[in-house]
Structure 1
Amino acid sequence: MSSDRKLGFDTLQIHAGAKPDPATGARQVPIYQTTAYVFRDAEHAARLFNLEEVGYIYSRLTNPTVMALAERVAALEGGAGAVCCSSGHAAQIMALFPLMAPGRNIVASTRLYGGTITQFSQTIRRFGWSAKFVDFDDPAAIEAAIDSDTRALFCETIANPGGVITDLDAVSAIADRMGLPLIVDNTTATPWLCRPIEHGATLVVHSATKYLTGNGTVTGGVIVDSGKFDWSASDKFPSLSQPEPAYHGLVFHKALGPMAYTFHSIAVGLRDLGMTMNPQGAHYTLMGIETLSLRMARHVENAQKVAAWLEQDPRVEFVSYAGLPSSPWHGRVARICPKGAGALFTFAVKGGYDACVALVDALQLFSHVANLGDTRSLVIHSASTTHRQLTPEQQVAAGAAPNVVRISIGIEDADDLIADLDQALAKATA
């Protein structure tokens, strides 16, 4: 095969980052369950610690199983490099870590997972960071929120829970104009539906817990760097553009170019924050990704069918799914997510809060869990769970109003899912 041939997605999801094990010939990526690695000699150790040679030192930093996963996700997203960590929430903190300092802020979309809103509105304040939340459908509001202390923009490709597709092209244009990186959470879309870097994103984050793994077995997070941002264009990012005291004055961007952010996240971020992915978790995720495109195609096909059925049901007030022609965001599907609008969406049940709770309790095939992206169909009432800590106004803005139920459509038989929803709606609205 020609070395310059560009491999397709279905090939990359199986082969990227994976080669037969040199010691044994094992075809599947082994689980390297080890803490540390033997150095060839003292000079080899010194070169590794000085970042003069790439290799393995200690599994808090790098591990062959975890690195195979990082290479695979970077390849699928079209990035220069990636770093894996212990959860999607860890990935968000890790993504911000090289960019931020006390007094700095990010501008974030109001349409985010409830836990992300809590992390950004409450927890990051303990680091002296802050977040401003604005409607990312309003470019003027985004620009107005940016000030001299802003260090990044943050949004989700397909917003959790309401399935709203963000206009990444419009948002990245603002980020470029302001000299700021755009961070996109691509968890609910996956690189099969959207590759945010192709729409101008600087960094892409994932909760690998969800669709990438696909079977609800492990938690994990990934940060993918596009390798395209000029960290030295201003003095806003000294961690990457100025000498690093811990590495004898090494300037990451000058020395490492497109890989500067990735190496900083490993050599400083994982070293000092310790948000490390375990090799067994990485192994499960690697196996899950091998069938990502197959699963996503069925997820989307089922979601489209279920959403269309719900929309015409008189017991349902509305359905928020960009795949429906009635959706205000339907026009973005072909441009941002051409293979489909995902499989996570919400619908409002006539009867409000009480009817939603009754529906959740009556469902039989749908599992009532705080997760999404499983092969199984899942349901949750966001206002009383994942978005419970938010104010009523924040819940509505995030698409998690009290009369709304969130469903993550799995890969079962769609007719069985519809039958389950039908019987549960009958009980909930009786």
Structure 2
Amino acid sequence: MIGPSFGSSTRQVRAGDSAARGHRPVAVPIHQTAAYEFDSWEHARDVFALRQKGDIYSRTGNPTQLVLEERLTALDDGVAALATGSGQAAVVVALLALARQGEHLVASSTLYGGTMDLLTDTFADFGIDTTLVDPLDLEAWRAAIRPNTRAFFAESFGNPTASVPDLCGIADIAHQAGVPFVVDNTVATPALLQVKEHGADIAVYSATKHLGGHGSSLAGAIVDLGTFDFGKQPQRWPQFTEPFSRVGDVVLWERFGQENSALLVYARTKLVHDLGPSLSPFNARDILMGIETLTVRLERISRTTAAVVHYLVQHPRVSRVHHPLAEAGAGRERAEHYLKHGWPGVLSFDVADEAAVPGVVDGLELFTLAANIGDVRSLVIHPSTTTHSHFTDEQLNRAGFSRSTIRLSIGLEDHEDLLADLDQALAEPPEPHGR
């Protein structure tokens, strides 16, 4: 069993249940099937009643997906994982498993735009209220707590602002309030940051990004880190501590508890089953192949990111660089405390003249203009006209950036070529000829 005693790179290549490899292939096979044969009437009954493990229907899981889930569990030193069809689906399922109609979430105000839409718009439609707070202001987290608060949610490394919150401080406040701390660790990944070591209870990922690494397949994941005891306050968590009628009145916390993730059993059996955010076996295998080279890719991306930040900080047409390497004081120290294994490759910078933004974006040749991050290709996007296009100036300011901000995602190209591309795109345009 490849577990936490092995190094991160070994787990990236080796972790996962070999039982899913029926004919002992070296690479993980794609189990392209919709349904699975049961041994008997009794076997079918017991699998549906959660008395036995087993595959039922690929909407809720398949053997290829199982290997991915076990590998991610090993990478995060968790107790279980649940893979989904996208990172957005992972956030939806994780938070809906914790908060229901009439309940409340506290979340960072500097989240990815799609997550902000989910929390402030769609969840509001569901009757789930969200208070957004400055992720760097611990007292704001504390002040936002209500009796019906059910979770704290933050990103370990902000997108697009590249900010690093005090994860331990936020976790302490969440746990004092008796709620779990959910951390989106998409940008840092387990290779650069083990969020369990800093107080997180649940990790979520858009595996589409650095985990997959090639911009080819959508996927998401939830990892239960096994640190939150829902049984301490059973009245808060009836979905886990009261009989679950659809599986024969099983009390999930009694049957599965903390060590076997009653949380993710509920999420898979109810939310994934009902809402259908399924991960295809092909995409699961694609993400697994990406994970095999995660550390190697991030080591190179980290070095290139440092070179790009250093270049941008000194450029006369750049007024600000959003990345811990560009900071001094507490922000830099906090990032260095949490990110001991390298720098994530997402950063942004403000062009001194907002009117120059279109020319800079269109002038880049090696940076592909695309709404994604974590690709082997370097990418560029202008958040305020794309991913955050519906934000007002006030909302942008609260999120920590402006209409002059350009986001970069660093890939695997030679860093000299990327710097040369930035240099020509940021060059002063020639003066127009007089009449």
TM-score when normalising by structure 1: 0.96
* Distance 1:316-1:327 versus aligned 2 partners, 3 A rule: farther
Q: Aligned ranges for residues 128-207 of structure 1 at < 5 Å?
A: 128-207=127-206
**Shift in CA distance, 327/162, structure 1 to aligned 2, threshold 3 Å:** farther
Partner SS state of residue 346, structure 1: strand
Of 272, 277, 280, 1:278 maps to 280
Show CA shifts across 1:147-190 (max 9, x none). Answer: 01111000000000010011101000101111000000000100
Residue identity over aligned pairs, in percent, reads: 39
Q: Distance in 2 between matches of 1:5 and 1:90?
A: 27
Give a deviation string over 1:308-343, Cα, whole Å, max 9, x none.
111011111111111235375211123211112311
Say if 1:359 and 1:428, in contact at 8 Å, map to a contact too: no
State the match for 1:102 in structure 2: 101
CA contact (8 A) 1:197 1:226 kept: yes
Distance 1:22 1:330, change over 3 A: closer
Q: Which residue matches 2:406? A: 405
Aligned pair partner of 1:332 in 331, 334, 350 = 334
Aligned: 1:312 with 2:311: no
Instruction: Report the CA distance shift for 1:5/1:175 in structure 2 as closer, same or farther (over 3 A).
Output: closer
Q: Which residue does 1:81 correspond to in 2?
A: 80
In 2: Cα distance, 1:23 partner to 1:282 partner: 17
Corresponding residue SS for 2:297: helix
Matching residue of 2:379: 378
Alpha-carbon contact 2:104-2:149 (below 8 Å) kept: yes
Deviation at 1:361, TM superposition (A): 0.4
Over the residues paired in the alignment, what is the CA RMSD in angstroms?
1.6
3-state SS of paired residue (1:286)? helix
Q: How many residues align?
A: 428
Regions of 4+ moved over 6 Å: 2-5
SS across alignment from 1:96: helix
What are the equivalent positions in structure 2 for 1:204-215 lying under 5 Å apart?
204-215=203-214
Q: Contact conserved, 2:111 with 2:158, CA < 8 A, in 1?
A: yes
The answer for the alignment partner of 1:302 in structure 2 is 304
Query: Displacement, 1:3?
Result: 8.9
CA distance in 2, matches of 1:3, 1:189: 22
Q: Which stretch has the larger CA shift, 31-40 or 5-14?
A: 5-14
1:250–1:142 CA distance, 2 compared to 1 (3 A): same
Change (3 A) 1:3 1:123: closer
List gaps (5 residues or longer) in structure 1: none
Give 1:53's aligned amino acid: Q
The corresponding residue for 2:90 is 91
Shift of the 126–330 alpha-carbon distance from structure 1 to 2, 3 Å rule, reads same
Contact 2:379 2:411 in 1 (8 A): yes
1:14/1:290 contact within 8 Å kept = yes
Aligned to 2:422: 421
What letter is aligned with 2:408?
I
Amino acid across the alignment from 2:92 = I
Asked if structure 1 preserves the Cα contact closer than 8 Å seen for 2:21 and 2:29, the reply is: no
- Contact kept in structure 2, 1:355 and 1:429, CA below 8 Å: no
Q: Which runs of 5+ in 2 are unaligned?
A: none
Q: Could you tell me which amino acid in structure 2 is paired with residue 60 of structure 1? A: R
Range 359-368 or range 265-274, more displaced? 265-274
The residue type paired with residue 337 of structure 2 is R
